[in-house]
Structure 1
Amino acid sequence: MSESSAPGTISAQVHRAACNPALPSGSSRSSQRDMWEITAPFSFQVLGAVILGFGVWILADRSSFISVLQTSSTSLKVGAYIFISIGAFTMLMGFLGCIGAVNEVRCLLGLYFAFLVLILIAQVAAGVLFYFNMGKLKQEMGSIVTELIQKYEEGRQDSLQEAWDYVQAQVQCCGWVSFYNWTENPRLMNHTNTTYPCSCKTRSQNDSSLPLEKGFCHDLNGIQGGNNPDAWPVYHEGCMEKVQAWLQENLGIILGVCVGVAVIELLGMLLSMFLCRSIHSEDYSKVPKY
């Protein structure tokens, strides 16, 4: 290109921009696309990974109250697999949204929007079902823990027993409703001296660093001739009340996380609609006008 023709070329470009104000500039298109590429894919990849990781944790955990439930509760297992599926699906949707944004494919962006709507509806439905089935879940949890206490056997290597010992020691509770649940264990009550679950033993703050005791403990100074539960040096409060108190204390955090997830999903839907309309307007502006 010659130097003399350069000013004319620049003038023509300025003239075309002035005559077509509806035509989006390259910087505007780039800004919209950059905002999408940074916000949506990253947020949904992280969100999907968190949901997937939570589901895997429910299935793999062996040292907390979750492990006691997931071994015997089909509802919790199904819930864990649902979390894993939703997490993987959310990560896939974030990937499709990224491809649709980079290549400006309206079909992929529309598919991304539709699947986000379905995920949001599924999450709301799951929350409603959980709320209205809390009583049933509580009853199922109680039956699982009660059966575990009744079949508890000293010296047996069992991951469920170890997990329940850990829960009672850490949460500082005993039994499910109260420590009297342990009176339903025949092996414990057959002792002729004062014998109680070691993990239920009351501890001071100075004793919290001591290793976890398992099995049954014997009080050598106790009354002989019978195992009286009222003489046990254990926590009297049941773990059910402790779990309910924990849920009440952390209800705000749980609701905040749920609202945050919903906001991220709504943001993804709005951004996909915004980019779809931007691509549509750009394609329309490229149609020759006579």
Structure 2
Amino acid sequence: MDTCEEPPTVSLMPTYSKGPQAKMSAQESCLSLIKYFLFVFNLFFFVLGGLIFCFGTWILIDKTSFVSFVGLSFVPLQTWSKVLAISGVLTMGLALLGCVGALKELRCLLGLYFGMLLLLFATQITLGILISTQRVRLERKVQEVVLQAIQSYRENPEDTSAEESWDYVQFQLRCCGWHSPWDWISAHVLRGNESQPRVPCSCYNSTASNYSTVFDEPFSQLSPLAPRASPTQSSDPCSLPSSANIYREGCAQSLRKWLHNNLISIVGICLGVGLLELGFMTLSIFLCRNLDHVYNRLAGFR
């Protein structure tokens, strides 16, 4: 009995291995995940930069409302409002590059984003090295600036940003002068003398006061704990004698104590910011270098 066997059918369609396609699909999914991760985080920083810019602009335009909100009249508004506004604009610009570059998969924007992050990271590293190696020279320079600000205290009513900043430092760090309250002898506007120098009201130690000293009216605006009294010379800067209840410690020592007590927090914040920048740089350059490579290989399997 003859058996008829059917000839084997030969398929003319090419057969492809699923391995390379699966590998390319996994790489594409990974790149998509990185792309949206970069987009979401940069979108967050874009909104944050916008809030910082709006806050700085609000301080710059409407100082009265901000002063009433904070409750301190000697906050250096002019300087810090500009710093906040510029920081907000830079943050928004950098985040916008990351958002658009990641979402639209534009290699030029991703490369520019990586370059700006690298420049920012290198600047921070350079500043850290300079502060560590030039600490003595930096401290001497700060001392010269502070003593100059003390000597010219309130002599120019149109430019008081440095004096307001130093008043704020004394108020926050609970100190007076750079080395001691005797540094204020050189302040001509306060009319101090060698036996009884006068100091600004930001040196006032409200926690150790019995409220028996009479001060000028402007000091009542500096702190809610300050005693209120009838104004004596409202056009003159608020001052009080060195025999009053003032901080006896210089700000140089207080600043060293503050840095020593907050060293772990400062180092932690710097490391966190540096690692965040390194992470964004790594993701952006990885996405920039692998976008065209993966899509070209996927096109070859179609």
Aligned partner of 1:263: which letter?
Answer: L
- Indicate yes or no: 2:156 matched with 1:159: no
The residue that corresponds to 1:221 in the other structure is none
1:244-281 C-alpha deviation (Å, 9 max, x unpaired): 22222222222222211211111112212332354222
- Indicate yes or no: 2:225 matched with 1:210: yes
| 8 A contact 1:64–1:166 mirrored in 2 | no
Aligned to 2:253, which of 208, 225, 241?
241
Q: TM-score, normalization: structure 2?
A: 0.61
The residue that corresponds to 2:112 in the other structure is 111
1:120-144 C-alpha deviation (Å, 9 max, x unpaired): 2222112222333333332233223
Trace 1:85-96 onto structure 2 (pairs within 5 A).
88-89=89-90, 91-96=92-97
Shift in alpha-carbon separation, 1:233–1:89, aligned structure 2, 3 A? closer
Segments of structure 1 that go 5 or more residues without pairing to the other structure are 1-11, 72-76, 219-228
Could you say what the CA RMSD is over the residues aligned between the two structures, in angstroms?
A: 4.7
Query: How much has 1:286 moved relative to structure 2?
Result: 0.4
The residue that corresponds to 1:97 in the other structure is 98
Aligned to 1:176, which of 159, 166, 178?
178
Q: TM-score, normalization: structure 1?
A: 0.63
Segments of structure 2 that go 5 or more residues without pairing to the other structure are 1-12, 212-222, 229-236
The residue that corresponds to 2:39 in the other structure is 37
User: For the residues of structure 2 that align with 1:109 and 1:204, how far apart are their CA atoms?
Assistant: 55
| 8 A contact 1:64–1:164 mirrored in 2 | no
- Indicate yes or no: 2:274 matched with 1:262: yes
| 8 A contact 2:180–2:251 mirrored in 1 | yes
Percent of aligned positions that are identical: 34
Trace 1:1-290 onto structure 2 (pairs within 5 A).
20-24=21-25, 30-39=32-41, 41-42=42-43, 44-45=45-46, 67=76, 84=86, 88-89=89-90, 91-152=92-153, 159=160, 161=163, 163-185=165-187, 188-190=191-193, 196-197=198-199, 199=201, 200-204=203-207, 209-211=224-226, 215-217=238-240, 231=243, 233-279=245-291, 280-287=293-300
How many residue pairs match? The answer is: 252
User: For the residues of structure 2 that align with 1:271 and 1:47, how far apart are their CA atoms?
Assistant: 21
| 8 A contact 1:195–1:232 mirrored in 2 | no
SS in 2 for 1:235: coil
Structure with higher helix content: 1
Query: How much has 1:238 moved relative to structure 2?
Result: 0.8
Moved more, 98-107 or 144-153: 144-153
